Amino acid sequence: VAKFARDLEELLEAGGIRFLGEVGLDRIFTPSTFSYQLKVFEATLDLASRYGVGLSVHAAGAWREVLDLLRKYGIRVAIFHWYTGPLDLLEDIVAEGYLIGVNPALKVQRKHEDVVRAAPLEALVTESDGPYVYRGLKLGPELIEYLLARVAQIKGVGVEEIAKAVRRNFAKALSRVGLTLYLP
């Protein structure tokens, strides 16, 4: 862990890095390494806090723990990647100004659909999470149009409104770490 922290700090010290990800904890897919994950994640959070970088966080099965650690380390900008955690935790995540990442798994994962339905539009960003195969579906950038349309359908608004909200949400997150989003 010490070498990892030194290497990461060297990269951050060199400048130019404003966002780290995907970092976090996983109790579902790799539970046997959880104590090690926790040490690495806390080292990452300490550095992210000191250098003011944003994070894309993986929190499978450890949603509350990750939120508590983000708070503990004063992380200002975080995106909860592929959020499928408890719906009652969404309010706490959003209250911290963190974002909820949704991806094309929405096509085959009911829990992800429930999250989209429950999360405020002001907290949603889209992600491709690909290439990755999940339940037979190849996730990737080519499904982003589908994703925007499906989120629009769930939210009962137009696709363009979803696209604008996602751009606005992501631009706001980037601005909080000193970056500007330029789009055509």
CATH number of the domain to which 129 belongs: 3.20.20.140
Q: What is the pLDDT of residue 112?
A: 92
Q: Is 33 a domain residue?
A: yes
Model pTM score:
0.94
Q: Is 170 a domain residue?
A: yes
Q: What percent of the chain has pLDDT over 90?
A: 83
Work out the average pLDDT over 7-23: 96
Whether residue 128 is predicted with pLDDT greater than 90 in this model: the reply is no
Whether residue 90 is predicted with pLDDT greater than 80 in this model: the reply is yes
33 three-class SS: helix
Cβ atoms within 10 Å of 147's Cβ, excluding its own: 23
Work out the average pLDDT over 55-74: 98
52-91: b or e for each residue (b if 16 or more CB lie within 10 Å)? ebbbbbbbbbbbebbbebbeebebbbbbbbbbbbeeebbe
Whether residue 181 is predicted with pLDDT greater than 90 in this model: the reply is no
Q: Is 63 a domain residue?
A: yes
Q: Is 180 a domain residue?
A: no
Q: Which amino acid is present at 161?
A: E
Tell me the average pLDDT of the chain: 95
Q: Is 184 a domain residue?
A: no
Please report which confidence band the pLDDT of residue 120 belongs to, taking 50, 70 and 90 as the band edges: very high
Q: What are phi and psi of 43, to 5 degrees?
A: -65, -40
Domain count, the chain: 1
Q: Is 183 a domain residue?
A: no
For residue 104, what are the domain limits?
A: 2-175
Q: What is the pLDDT of residue 184?
A: 66
Distance in angstroms (rounded) separating the CA atoms of residues 12 and 32: 29
DSSP 65: H
Q: Is 48 a domain residue?
A: yes
Q: Is 57 a domain residue?
A: yes
- Token pair of 25, please? 């904890």
DSSP 123: G
Q: What is the pLDDT of residue 38?
A: 98
Q: What are phi and psi of 153, to 5 degrees?
A: -60, -45
